[in-house]
A and B are shown apart, each in its own frame.
Chain A
Amino acid sequence: MKHIVSIDIGSTFTKGTLLIHKENEVLPGFKILSYRKVPTTTDHLAKGFFDILQSFCKEFNINQEDIEIYYSSSAKGGLNIVAIGIVPDLTLKIARITALSAGAKISASFSYKLSRKAIDSINTINPDIILFTGGTDGGNEEINIHNARMLEKLTIRPVVIYAGNEVISDKIQEILKDFRVIIAQNVLPEIDVMNPEDARSKIREIFLDTIIHGKGLDEISNRIGFMPDPTPFSVFEFVKSLPDSVEQIKKVIADVDLNLDPGIESITGIRSIKEYGLKNLKDNLSYDFKNFCLIDLGGATTDFYSNHKDTISDNNVIYKGLPEPIVKRTVEGDLGMRISSQAVVSTAREYIEKELFSCFKDEKEDSILDEFLAYIDKISKNPGYIVDFSGNNLKNESKENIYNKEVIFDRILASACILNAAIRHAGKYRKVYTSDKQMLVQTGKNLKKVRTIIGSGGYLSFMKDFTLTNFIDFGNVSNKNFEIDEISLLPEKIDYFRDDNYLIPIIANLSEKYPVESALLVLSNLIRV
């Protein structure tokens, strides 16, 4: 029996859990012993981390040396990348996909030739990494060489990862000799071949060996002996490994009718799933976890992940653009429940007004809008604000059931974030009339056949009454847009699951080493609503 601790240092809270690993069962599994959540100490990240670790040691009388520790961090802005490519739809697009799949935040991206103004703005942004791409192998050289000469003028010295036309990588290194330049494989070696993996792992290496020092994480790594992953990197790994793990679990479950331990008992700070965990697990296994989406709706961003291999079998559909990766992450910096709530209003004003006016039919439109905007003002200044939900029933948004308008305001905000994040993640059909028939041109990823959507993040995990299917009509979005010859390829029939207890980010840390155990725990804890 081995003790394991997983800690996630978020921008607002540092969360940790103590688990035991049980090897001698038909299926290895975890059992959660304890859970802690403390405010992140931004000026000294190590404090929250060690407070949690030591409290676990004290509570269960164990030595820190005997514990296996995993941790991730998204504190202090996470991993900040500027992406450079040539054509926006080609190399720049893959550069962005690469950076996001490595768990980074893209603070700016530039295409074609860098201007003096672009250099000024990179100086101001002061990114951790510049991901420098452009050209297929043997392709464009001129623009990259221009861009290298421009980057040389930077007053800052971020790490440069060059993942463009490999023919000139020596030359790029020579021009940028004052920088630390890491050469990765070209993200677009051929015009229709995407190759983000090597650059992605180089980004991770840089994050681990350089960047965490600037974020004050080195104190932790010095004492623990190793480095954290960026939180979205861990979640990406989890999303990638889940289908295989579920297959393995299914095999065992089909063989023996074993009495699995659901892994969570009544623990302070976490809801017990002892009573329903096993039933949950069995129920959930009958749904599709080979193809699924995961939404992590946070205070500042909305992260949208999908794991789905999209194959085109329809003769009337022609695919255009770069092939989409099977596992994909997009992150929206203008969609979030608190810090970014002002931005949500400007992004989705029309949608918000429509929802608002239909929820509050009896009220004057101007006054309810003013109330809503005042609420947004309040929460964006106070990102820790939590709405008092007691006594309200969100399942039926009638006046009798809702005493606190803020409950509905938050719900509308959440819907707006999810809907827009989904539309941006998913691909599109465009109607095209050819000489003999109407065809559909597809760009991006088709999620129409994906049924399983997992909702995670503070709001989605704890707002029990929020069900995606009740509040967001993906079908309606698609149909509405079809009139203007475009349709969003969003899921048509949805099985929605809530990540009860907000376990996914913290369990995701363990999924690289313990994929099956992590899947088992997460699946027992997912509640279909």
Chain B
Amino acid sequence: MHTIVLGVIGSDCHAVGNKILEKVFSDAGFKVVNLGVMVSQDEFINAAIETNAKAILVSSLYGQGELDCEGLREKCIERGLDKIILYVGGNLVVGKQDFDYVEKKFKDMGFDRVFKPDVDLIEVTKLLKDDIEQRFGNKDSK
């Protein structure tokens, strides 16, 4: 079973979506470490190191995701998580910005995938399984 770390980043206390994500990913066969709301970059990384997680799934709903996510990839590399998969999703920026632009911005920051708020979560669980297998190989699924 693959372990993934889940949480809402920064000073964001939107709790509902977070619970839904936990349910969907658990049902899809992941071992979910849910850190809840108002999670700092260090908390994500700490939990991922101790649990040997394959991916960190970052949510942000309050429009300040860009500031909060800046530097997360670099910090992961710095602390030895050089292979970890990073996903981000939610209302990532304030106002109506073009999603392609937003996606590029977060991919440049080092996120592997970027999701709109209305994405089909079942699709995301499938993508995640594929991504994990591709990066870590099949052998690791114990």
Contact = CB atoms under 8 A, between A and B. Distances in A.
Given A434-B62, A435-B63, A138 B52 contact: yes
27 contacts: A86-B50, A89-B46, A90-B47, A91-B50, A135-B52, A136-B50, A138-B1, A138-B3, A138-B31, A138-B51, A138-B142, A139-B3, A139-B50, A140-B52, A142-B52, A190-B33, A191-B47, A318-B13, A318-B37, A318-B38, A320-B43, A432-B11, A433-B11, A434-B13, A434-B62, A435-B11, A435-B63
B12 A435 contact: yes
Given A89-B46, A191-B33, A320-B38, A136 B51 contact: yes
A434 to B, nearest CB: 4
A89 B142 CA distance: 27
Contacts, number: 64
A278 interface: no
B64 interface: yes
B38 A432 contact: yes
Contacts of A90: 46-47, 50
Interface in B64-81: 64, 80
A100 interface: no
Contacts of A318: 13, 37-38
B93 interface: no
Majority SS at the chain A contact face: loop
Contacts of A139: 3, 50-52
Interface of A: 86-87, 89-91, 112, 134-136, 138-143, 188, 190-191, 318, 320, 432-435, 439, 441
B21 interface: no
A439 B38 contact: yes
Interface of B: 1, 3, 11-13, 31, 33, 35, 37-38, 42-43, 46-47, 49-52, 62-64, 80, 142
Interface centre among A112, A434, A441, by most chain B C-beta atoms within 10 angstroms, is: A434
Contacts of A89: 42, 46
Nearest to B43: A320
A419 to B, nearest CB: 29
Contacts of B62: 434-435
Give the interface centre of A134, A135, A188, A435 by most chain B CB atoms within 10 Å.
Answer: A435
The 8 closest A-B pairs by CB, nearest first: A139-B51, A435-B62, A87-B46, A434-B11, A139-B52, A140-B52, A136-B51, A191-B33
A202 B138 CA distance: 38
B3 A439 contact: no
Nearest to B33: A191
Among A141, A188, A190, A191, the one with the most B-chain Cβ atoms within 10 Å of its Cβ is A191
A439 B63 CA distance: 18
B50 A439 contact: no
A170 to B, nearest CB: 15
A446 B80 CA distance: 34
Contact of B50 (A140, A320, A432, A434): A140
B38 A441 contact: yes
Given A87-B46, A191-B33, A320-B43, A141 B12 contact: no
A191 B50 contact: yes
A190 B35 CA distance: 12
A91 B42 CA distance: 15
A435 B33 contact: no
Contacts of A432: 11, 38
A434 B31 contact: no
Among A91, A112, A140, which residue has the most Cβ atoms of chain B within 10 A? A140
Contact of A435 (B31, B49, B51, B64): B64
A89 B11 CA distance: 20
Contacts of A86: 49-50
B87 to A, nearest CB: 19
A439 B13 contact: yes
Contacts of A142: 52
A87 B38 contact: no
Given A87-B49, A135-B51, A434-B38, 5 more contacts: A87-B50, A191-B33, A432-B11, A435-B11, A435-B12
Nearest to B31: A138
Nearest to A441: B38
B13 A135 contact: no
Contacts of B13: 318, 434, 439
A337 B43 CA distance: 38
A320 B13 CA distance: 13
B64 to A, nearest CB: 7
A439 B11 contact: yes
A90 B64 CA distance: 28
B20 to A, nearest CB: 19
B37 A140 contact: no
A526 to B, nearest CB: 41
